[in-house]
Structure 1
Amino acid sequence: MSAAEKLVPSQEPLTEAQRLAAAIDRYYANISRLTLEYVPVNLDLIILHKIPDVALFLPQAGTQPVQYSPFRGKGMYVSQAELDTLAANGLTELYIQRVDVPVFTQYVESVLGELDTISPMADDQKVGLLRSSAIHVMGDIFNAPTPENIQRGVKAVSGFVYVLMRDPKAYQLLLSLSSHDHYTLQHSVGVATTAIILAKKFGVNDEASLIEAGVGGLLHDIGKTSVPKEIINKKGPLDETEWALMNYPMGLRGEQISLYAKIVTLCDIYNAITTDRSYSQAKPPFEAFKLIKDKLSHKIDLKLYEALVQIYGGKTT
């Protein structure tokens, strides 16, 4: 369910936090529509003195296809009075050009990082928005794994850790992100959030270490960007040459493998089994844990396995 869908019924007046949540949610939905040359931005997302220096546009009434005229050029100030006038005339959105989406998206990410000072909102709303942001960031990382994009990934994970540190019960919200569909980006976010929860359950309590575990989960599939697609998508086992192309690095075993690598390995396996794939249906948690213990116990740390079972309310005996 999207953040916008979690808002109160429309007949009740929305709070500032709810309006901002809906505006951010719609923005992420709109930028995913790659055919849009001009991307709509809700007025509630235009925060004075924070909005980046991008040109803003208005649609021209009666034009088909729709034409856009400048509302504010780059370097020009927009006032609250102007925004209020737009709203009074029934306008709810301004538009930015597709070329400005990267810089505007970083602005939206900064707003997400400051939500509690701008407009505090419920954890379920915030987690939903963090998920949308993290999925978009992962798309950028897979397209261009630059230090700047990876740092954005770190910030996205930090948001999840902040919610969990503030309210330990929020782990139930984060668990809800760990499955649902098979796409790589959503899978990466699901593995990241489950890794954070499992690390905390296993006794990792400092924020920096939890972020490390989450970043490991978020980026665990990043190596796919340098592997030929025909190998990634091959059905059946890889031959010796293909395994060499996969670039598995050091062949570490047992205690040579770090705690975070063990955590991410287990979370990756669990998420894959409990997620619908083109070749298999998602298994419920009980069946997934049984499969892992019966067939894959040689690949995992059994103490971590027991902790993950407990997180999902099961018994390890």
Structure 2
Amino acid sequence: MSMKDVARQANVSVGTVSNVLNRPDIVSGDRRVRVEAAIAELGYVRNDAARQLKLGHSRTVGAIVLDSGNPFYAQLVGGIEAAAEASSLAVIAGSTGNREQRERLYLSLFEEQRVRGILLASAGGTDDLVEGIRRRGTPVVLAESARDATGGSSVSVDDIAGGEIAVRHLAAQGRRRLGVVAARQDLRQVADRLHGARRAAAGVGVEIEVLEAEDLTVLAGRTAGEAVVARTRAERPDAVFCVNDLLAVGVLQAFAFRHQIAVPEEIALVGYDDIAFARSTVVPLTSVAQPADLMGRTALALLEEEIARRDAAPRHVSFTPTLIERESTTG
């Protein structure tokens, strides 16, 4: 069905049908009712792709995240979607699995689809592509990075401060031998959290040991935790900081199995992200919280600012993480 079919059925002009679809407030009540009845009877669905070509802009935003299996990114996309809904926009989200090749694929596909703009949580290595996409007219806002070599707007959290917050909290609890469970140190977020942890450890005079995990997942955390359990009591750290909550949940599972290590009596435990599950683990998890929902909303707001004013200077918004204390460190 086309707009011409609807116009013929309702006995109005094609222009009237267009106004009902796009500016119904200027159409008389009788004509609007007739057009809406014709649309329902014929099963007409507007061709939004053609409409976008005519108007020169889209109502769809592309969002690219590192790992859709991580609840932090689900919360980030949720914030984007909530803000988009308020502006009658749609969001298409893709997960790169921390892979540059897949990130490049999504960036190219979203540009080909002529999306309104792209919100990107980047694994790195795609600055050249992002710069080209911006130059060709599609705005890109980095949704989890303060460093934007291509000169666009960005939203980030101070992850160095987050690492410091975790270690200073553990030191304040009297812990002096700290293990940091980390994976994918090539990712900016992980590297910054480690940097902050090391800097805080040096400042408060505690020992720090990096415990390498295979990935940023619960299963990898459980494997790292089992390696700690296998040590003698004298060789174990008295506190563990994990660079995300999924790792921390896995470590906690390893410690809790057969009650091998008491948390926090023997080893205190801190995670990062404060995902919803952190408060309902067998021992509620102390975590460094990022405002994921607010970050998503802010990223979309920055994107809309760029669209409204193409000559506007880029803005960089940075949030400071906060510590949420629970029983895994305070008993």
Task: Give the TM-score band, short-chain normalised.
Answer: under 0.3
Larger radius of gyration: 2
- Structure with bigger strand share is 2
- Structure with bigger helix share is 1
Q: Which has the higher contact order (CA 8 A, sep 6+)?
A: 2
TM-score by length of 2: 0.26
